[in-house]
Amino acid sequence: MKAETKGGKTLIDSILELIDLCTIYVRQQVKSVVDQGIAMPIRSAGRKAALFMLAFTLFSLASIFVAVGLFLALASLIGYVLAYLAIGAVLIIAGLMIWQQSKHSKG
């Protein structure tokens, strides 16, 4: 003789149903914790990083256009050859200053 519960189910069926319900509940709770604790912060950090990269790209493009404009203005004043020489000299001097600074900061 099988032991039956009020709904006409056996005790084993009720235990299996309880295990299924507990499994579903635990999965929902884990999903909720993962979504709120991990996925949402990563998603917002990803959006911030994407916007930062977009802004950096736009600033880089803008600085290139400004540099080209300034070069053309300088070239129209002193000529292209002297403009290239002047900009090259400034870049060499800046590189030497940075290199000198890095030598002093090591030791």
Residue 3's pLDDT is: 59
pTM of the model: 0.53
In a domain, 67, yes or no: yes
Identify the CA nearest to 86 among candidates 69, 76, 74, 95: 74
d(CA 22, CA 17): 9
In a domain, 4, yes or no: no
What letter would DSSP give residue 1?
-
In a domain, 86, yes or no: yes
pLDDT digits (tens, 9 = 90+) for 29-76: 888 888 888 888 888 888 999 999 999 999 999 999 999 999 999 999
d(CA 48, CA 16): 46
d(CA 21, CA 97): 70
Q: Which amino acid is at 32?
A: S
In a domain, 1, yes or no: no
Tally of domains within the chain: 1
Domain extent at residue 76 = 11-106
pLDDT digits (tens, 9 = 90+) for 78-96: 999 999 999 999 999 999 9
